[in-house]
Amino acid sequence: MKRALITGVTGQDGLYLSELLLSKGYEVYGLIRGQNNPKAELVRRTVPGVKLLTGDITDLASLIRAFGEAQPDEVYNLGAISFVAYSWENAKLTSDVTGQGVLNVLEATRLYAGDDISKVRFYQASSSEMFGKVQDVPQRETTLLWPRSPYGVAKVFGHYMTINYRESYGMHASSGILFNHESPRRGPEFVTRKVTQAVARISLGLQDSISLGNLDAKRDWGFAGDYVDAMWRMLQQDEADDYVVATGETHSIRELLDVAFSHVGIDDWEGKVVQDPRFFRPAEVDLLIGDPTKARERLDWTPKVGFLELVRMMVESDVAQQKELAGR
Ligand code: G4F
């Protein structure tokens, strides 16, 4: 039985990855941060098979302890402060967690492996946010990185550190450059879930409008459940490498609004959307579209859920959740 350690297990990707690994017969350990973390209950309820360990990716000693208990064959570093807008207000904290945190997990992995670096494989959750002011369309593994947010800068550090551990120590360390990936489990601060939750509430007469920022930004949105499978496939390869994980399609926030509103029978949404300067960013990433050719050819990975299906799935889940909350 293989053993896996997941940091960031409380997030949407942590939950989907736990389900995937448990279904493959892994013994799964999840690292939970902080005292009495309110999300621990969510993990226990959603993936009861996961064994929870206490630790923090900013605290190397706690990681060493967690590695000692989990004795992992595979380490998935998903832990991060992941909300881009928040990173301008908390740049130092974001660089400590999302950037330096990667170095801590890599170092804990190296110390745990000791003389036998081949005993453990490492996955780093890199991000398309690293492409920022994009230098190629579509973006691929070789595209120059030009991050536009403190979050993006921190992810670039983690990405290059992962490559450096691979090159310096021969560690099986892979980096998945994941484009935006969403699901009904997505936090409501991200634009897809913010929209689908609001659309559900508007359709039920619980809310009149939604306030948003830039409606013209374009993203390559996929389904998080598909993307965790790509993470796992990376660690099953003979050689570690970097992979773009994306759908190869891009859509604007306006198109997201079109699909979400039309799914509840509202075709003209203009009067229900307010543009609020508070939600504009100091520097925007205007266009993301990934080229997943390498992942398709080497990992035999393709996304199963398309944009329309994804948005409809999220709207339906939010309508059901809002009805339940409203006691209908
Ligand atoms: O949903 P978002 O907050 O995601 P963003 O910034 O693209 O980052 C997500 O994807 C990255 C992968 O590229 C991850 F690394 C990262 O951790 C995260 O998961 O915003 C998407 C777009 C932006 O252009 C933003 O300006 O939506 C635009 N937007 C417009 N109005 C809004 C809003 N975003 C949010 N969160 N809230 C708004 O009201």
Span from the CA of 89 to the centroid of ligand 1 (angstroms):
15
Helix (H/G/I), strand (E/B), else coil: 206? coil
What is the share, in percent, of the chain residues with pLDDT greater than 70?
A: 100
- Check whether residue 120 and residue 29 sit in a common domain: yes
- Check whether residue 207 and residue 126 sit in a common domain: no
State the CATH number of the domain containing residue 137.
3.40.50.720
3: left (phi over 0), alpha (psi -120 to 50) or beta: beta
- Check whether residue 110 and residue 169 sit in a common domain: yes
Tell me if residue 151 is catalytic: yes
| Of 29, 76, 151, 165, catalytic | 151
Q: Which residue puts its alpha carbon closest to atom 17 of ligand 1?
A: 82
**Per-residue confidence (pLDDT) for residue 23, from 0 to 100:** 98
- Check whether residue 116 and residue 214 sit in a common domain: no
Residue 328 pLDDT greater than 80, yes or no: no
Span from the CA of 309 to the centroid of ligand 1 (angstroms):
19
* Strands (E) located in 74-120: 74-77
- Check whether residue 211 and residue 176 sit in a common domain: no
State the CATH number of the domain containing residue 203.
3.90.25.10
Out of 32-41, 241-250, 305-314, least confident range: 32-41
Digit-coded pLDDT (tens) for 224-240? 999 999 999 999 999 99
Residue 119 lies in a domain: yes
Residue 103 lies in a domain: yes
Write out the residue range of the structural domain in which residue 314 sits. 187-219+250-288+307-327
Peptide bond into 138 cis (omega under 30): yes
**Per-residue confidence (pLDDT) for residue 201, from 0 to 100:** 98
**Per-residue confidence (pLDDT) for residue 50, from 0 to 100:** 98
- Check whether residue 86 and residue 212 sit in a common domain: no
How many C-beta atoms lie closer than 10 Å to residue 308's C-beta? 12
**Per-residue confidence (pLDDT) for residue 7, from 0 to 100:** 98
Digit-coded pLDDT (tens) for 265-304? 999 999 999 999 999 999 999 999 999 999 999 999 999 9
Q: Residue 137 to residues 103, 142, 250: CA-CA distances in angstroms?
A: 30, 12, 11
Kind of pairing between the strands at 51-54 and 210-212: unpaired
Asked whether 126 lines ligand 1 (CB < 6 A), one says no
Over range 151-163, report the average pLDDT: 98
Asked whether the beta carbons of 43 and 30 are under 8 A apart, the reply is yes
- Check whether residue 197 and residue 241 sit in a common domain: no
- Check whether residue 46 and residue 172 sit in a common domain: yes
**Per-residue confidence (pLDDT) for residue 35, from 0 to 100:** 84
- Check whether residue 165 and residue 201 sit in a common domain: no
- Check whether residue 115 and residue 206 sit in a common domain: no
The full DSSP string for 274-310 is EE-GGGS-SS---B--B--HHHHHHH-----S-HHHH
Residue 213 pLDDT greater than 90, yes or no: yes
Q: How many domains does the chain have?
A: 2
Residue 299 lies in a domain: no
Kind of pairing between the strands at 27-32 and 51-54: parallel
Asked whether the beta carbons of 27 and 3 are under 8 A apart, the reply is yes
Asked whether 281 lines ligand 1 (CB < 6 A), one says yes
- Check whether residue 127 and residue 25 sit in a common domain: yes
Nearest-5° angle of CA 315, CA 316, CA 319? 85
- Check whether residue 77 and residue 202 sit in a common domain: no
